Structure 1
Amino acid sequence: MEMRTNRNRDRPALPVSAVVTGAVASLASVAALALLAKAEGKGPLQPINATSHWLHGEKAAGRDELDASHTLLGFATHYASAVFWALPFEFWRARHRPSTAGTLLRGACMTSAVAAAIDYGVTPKRFTPGWELVLSKRSMVVTYAALALGLAAGAKLAQAVVGCR
C-alpha cells in the first residue's frame, strides 16, 4: 500500500517533469542541429526552419534567416515534440526509478530510438521533423543521440526541480 501512495504522489508531477525534461532535450537537440548543419556547410538555422515544413512546405528547408514564421514555428514544433517524447520517458522513469546514470541513459536512448523510428518510419512525410531536407542521415542520428542525452539530463534536472524521483 505504501508503494502505491508514493506513486500516486509522483503522478501530478509527471507532466511538469515532462515539460522540464522536454525543454532540456529540445535545447540539446537544437544545439546539435545548428552545429551539425554548420559542419555540413549549411546555415545553422536551416534544420529548425525546416521543421516548419508542415506549414510552409519543403521551401522552409532553404531558409536560414531568423524569423517568426519559420524559426519560431519550427522551434515551437520541435519543443512540443520533445515534450511529447519526454512524457513516456518520464512515465518509464517514474515506474522503474532507474538507480544509475547508465540505466537512465539507456532508457533515454530507447525513447530517442523509438522517436526516430516513428518520426521517420511511420509519420507522414509532411509531419516529419524535416531535418532530412537539410542534413545527412549521419547528422540526424547524432541529433537523436543529442536528444537522448538531453532527455537524461533533463530528467536529472526535473528530479532536482520538481522533486519527482
Structure 2
Amino acid sequence: MHAPTAGHRSFHPPSTLTSALRAGVSAGIASELMVAACSLRNAGSASAGINATSQWLWGRRARRRRKRSIRYTLVGYAVHQGCSFLWSALYASWNARRPTASRGVQLRRAAVVGLFAAAVDYTVTPKRLRPGFEAHLSRASMVGVYAVFGLGLYLATARHGGATVRRHAERGG
C-alpha cells in the first residue's frame, strides 16, 4: 500500500458491516421513537407498541402490556433493533455492491428497503413473528413508522458513509 502524498488522503470506505450497524442503529432508534409517539397518540401509552414487539418471546400477552417494563419494553426494543440490523444489512450490501454519487438514489434505495420490510413483515412473516405494534397503531401511523425507518437508513449513510460512497463512485471504483 502506498503512503498518501501531501494533499491526498487515503480512501478507506466503511466496511459493509460497519455501514449496516450504523444504519441499523439509526433506523432502529428512529422507527422505535416513531412507534412510541404513535402508540402514545393512538393507544394512550408510549410503551404499548414497543411492548407488543416482545410477542416473539412472550406470546400474545405482550400485546396487552401498556406499562413500561424490563420484561416487555426492553425485550421489544431488542427484538426491533435486531430486525433493524437485518434490514440495514440488505441496504448496506446494496450500497456496497452498487456505489453511487447520487443522494437521491441512496434515498430511493432506503425507501425501497423500508417498503420491502413492511411487505415482508405483514405478508410472509407468521403472526407471532410480526412486529406486533400494529395492534396499537393506525394504518397511517404504520406507514409513518416504515417511512421513518427508511429515512433512518438513509441518514446513517448520508452522515457516515455517503461522502465515501460518492468519492468511491466518482473515482470509478
TM-score normalised per structure 1: 0.86
Deviates more, 1:16-25 or 1:93-102: 93-102
Q: Matched residue of 2:46: which SS?
A: coil
Q: Secondary structure at the match of 2:113?
A: helix
Name 2:41's counterpart in structure 1: 39
* Partner Cα separation in structure 2 for residue 88 and residue 149 of structure 1: 15
8 Å contact 1:49–1:71 — kept in the other structure? yes
State the one-letter code of the partner of 1:72. L
Matches within 5 A, 1:1-150: 13-150=15-152
8 A Cα contact 1:25 1:149, kept in partner: yes
Over the matched positions of the two proteins, sequence identity in percent amounts to: 35
* Separation in structure 2 between the aligned mates of residue 136 and residue 84 of structure 1, nearest angstrom: 25
1: CA distance, partners of 2:152 / 2:132: 20
Tell me how far apart the structure 2 counterparts of residues 164 and 20 of structure 1 sit (CA, whole Å). Answer: 14
Whether the aligned pair in 1 keeps the contact of 2:55 and 2:132 (CA below 8 Å) is yes
Which segments of 5 or more consecutive residues in structure 2 lack a partner in the other structure? 1-11, 166-173
TM-score under structure 2 length normalisation: 0.82
Report the Cα offset of residue 32 of structure 1: 0.7
Q: How many residues align?
A: 154
Tell me which amino acid in the other structure corresponds to 1:91.
S
The alpha-carbon deviation at position 151 of structure 1 amounts to 0.6
- 1:21 is matched by which residue type in structure 2? A
The separation in 2 between residues aligned to 1:56 and 1:90, in whole angstroms, is 31
Q: In terms of Rg, which structure is larger?
A: 2
Conservation of the 8 A alpha-carbon contact between 2:43 and 2:136: no
Query: What is the rounded CA distance, in whole Å, between the counterparts of 1:137 and 1:117 in structure 2?
Result: 13
Aligned-pair distance for 1:141? 1.1
Instruction: Single out whichever of 66-75 and 151-160 deviates more from structure 2.
Output: 151-160
